[in-house]
Amino acid sequence: MQIIISNTSKEPIYEQIYVQIKKQVLTNELQAGAALPSMRELAKDLGISVITTKRAYEELEKTGFIYSVVGKGSFVSEQNKEMILERKMKVIEEQLMAAIQNSKEIGIELPELKELLTMLYMEDV
Amino acid sequence: MENVIELRNVNKAFNGFELKDVSFSVKKGFVTGFIGGNGVGKSTTIKLIMNLLQPDHGEVSIFGLDYKKHEKEIKQRIGFVFDQNVFYENLTLLEMRNIIKPVYRKWDDALFHSYVERFKLPLKKKLSTFSKGMVMKASLTMALSHHAELSIMDEPTSGLDPIFRRELLDILHDLMQNGERTIFFSTHITADLDRIADYITFIHNGRHIFTKEFYTIEEDYAIVKGEVGLLDRDTEKEFVGIRKFNHGFEALTAYKQRTQNIFGDTVILEKPTLEDIMLYTQKGINRYVESHT
């Protein structure tokens, strides 16, 4: 698991950890059931306080990306991950529906919309 | 969460100085950084925690125990690092160990020697020949060699070069791995706290200002910068302390969100350092104490 934190970033450190682990779970780099380093280990590695990693793990747990077993540690959740992907998929559908609606209102045809989507998709990497 | 140190309404008065109703606790398994300027009561507080002083009123309990009945048992479980040389200068480190060793039931010679090696300390040279950094390392060695559950350190990083300060923080991280240890340490070098402290306890003028999780400090506090024209008697009340310049003002708020709501985009909000908080609290202490508990 790779985590890179910036001390000069405006984003709080626990947030940076949260975002990076979340991303790795969503992209399957961290697979379901994989064990995360203990909060204390991670704090030591990153040279930050334990309470910061604790906060990041608590947020990850609250949003269902990981779960903790007392005495064993924290692991990447499984069924929640599928739920998250499904939820994300639903959001994407809704947003695309809105874009389609808007396109129809001003008479943009499907090929043109596809082209626009392709262009934006390629740009934002 | 279990409290390892608890102060309840502790008062202690000296000539011209007074700790007033100080209450706070130190959580088990975490590092608490203890900050405050010179002469605000930090050392007095540490002495009260170590039972080197007794409160005029109020209670101090360590591991849930009272010093009056359990002093020996409490002291066995504490490792203490002073900011001053507390060793006999004419002795060597080895001789000093021979004095300290019998005091502690859980003294661990192997551990002692591993620290001596790690810190590259000479065993057979008189302590009077030690540099300030070496004395601190010797002091740390003694405090870490008897499996103390609670380490209390008074300015452990002062007098240490940046490289060893970093190493010390690594050592402290190692100590914290099993979650059973607790560290309470005072420091002026607030940058060290960024790397290790879970909680910050701040005292000023003999009063406890706050004990907070480190990350909540940047959620609550912010440095505010803007034009002097924005300040009037009402808006000034919003701040802990204010510095006015010809080209604008800089201030500290303890209510970041509220300040943001009041001033909106007319001001710039920045993340404060612990030093900022100490500085502005010093400037605006009277108003601050009234509005905070």
**Assigned token pair, A109:** 């045809």
Q: Are B215 and A12 in contact (CB under 8 A)?
A: yes
A62: Cα within 13 Å, side-chain hemisphere:
7
C-alpha dist (Å) from residue B194 to A20, B46, B223, B243: 20, 21, 18, 25
Task: Mark whether A69 and A118 lie in a shared domain.
Answer: no
Nearest residue to B183 via CA among A90, B158, B258, B193:
B193
A117: pLDDT strictly greater than 50: yes
Interface list for A 64-103 with B (CB within 8 A): none
Asked whether residue A6 is assigned to any structural domain, the reply reads no
B288: pLDDT strictly greater than 50: no
| Beta carbons of B198 and A14 less than 8 Å apart | no
**More confident call, A9 vs B250:** B250
Kindly state the average pLDDT of the residues B218-242: 89
**Assigned token pair, B69:** 């009945």
Q: Are B151 and B81 in contact (CB under 8 A)?
A: yes
B293: pLDDT strictly greater than 60: no
Asked whether residue A62 is assigned to any structural domain, the reply reads yes
Asked whether residue A72 is assigned to any structural domain, the reply reads yes
Q: Distance (Å) from the C-alpha of residue A11 to the closest C-alpha of chain B?
A: 10
Specify the pLDDT at position A30. 87
Kindly state the average pLDDT of the residues A28-39: 89
Last residue of a domain, one of A76, A98, A115: A76
Task: Mark whether A31 and A85 lie in a shared domain.
Answer: no
| Beta carbons of A47 and B195 less than 8 Å apart | yes
Q: Are A17 and A41 in contact (CB under 8 A)?
A: no
Task: Mark whether A37 and A72 lie in a shared domain.
Answer: yes
Specify the pLDDT at position A125. 60
Q: Distance (Å) from the C-alpha of residue A81 to the closest C-alpha of chain B?
A: 28
Task: Mark whether A23 and A61 lie in a shared domain.
Answer: yes
Task: Mark whether A23 and A72 lie in a shared domain.
Answer: yes
Residue type, B132: K
Give the pLDDT confidence of A50-93 residue by residue, as tens digits. 999 999 999 999 988 899 998 889 999 875 566 777 778 888 99
Chain Cα centroid distance, residue B289: 20
**More confident call, B39 vs B23:** B23
Nearest residue to B28 via CA among B148, B150, B147, B168:
B150
CATH for A54: 1.10.10.10
Nearest residue to B207 via CA among B12, B17, B22, B13:
B22
Non-local (6+) Cβ contacts of B82 within 8 A are B139, B154
Specify the pLDDT at position B152. 95
Give the structural domain span for A99: 81-123
Task: Mark whether A56 and A21 lie in a shared domain.
Answer: yes
Specify the pLDDT at position B289. 42
Specify the pLDDT at position B1. 67
Give the pLDDT confidence of B32-69 residue by residue, as tens digits. 999 998 888 898 999 999 999 999 999 999 999 999 99
| ipTM confidence | 0.72
Give the pLDDT confidence of B168-214 residue by residue, as tens digits. 888 899 999 988 999 999 988 888 888 899 999 999 989 999 999 99
Task: Mark whether A61 and A93 lie in a shared domain.
Answer: no
Task: Mark whether A43 and A85 lie in a shared domain.
Answer: no
Alpha-carbon gap, residue B29 to B160, rounded angstroms: 25
Alpha-carbon gap, residue A27 to A42, rounded angstroms: 21
A48 at B interface, C-beta within 8 A: yes
B290: pLDDT strictly greater than 70: no
Asked whether residue A69 is assigned to any structural domain, the reply reads yes
Choose the mutation target among B175, B198, B218 for the interface with A, i.e. most A CBs under 10 Å. Answer: B198
Domains of chain B: 3-217 (3.40.50.300), 221-288 (no CATH)
A40 at B interface, C-beta within 8 A: yes
Domain total for chain A? 2
Asked whether residue A115 is assigned to any structural domain, the reply reads yes
**More confident call, B140 vs B288:** B140
With cut-offs at 50, 70 and 90, classify the pLDDT of residue B83.
low
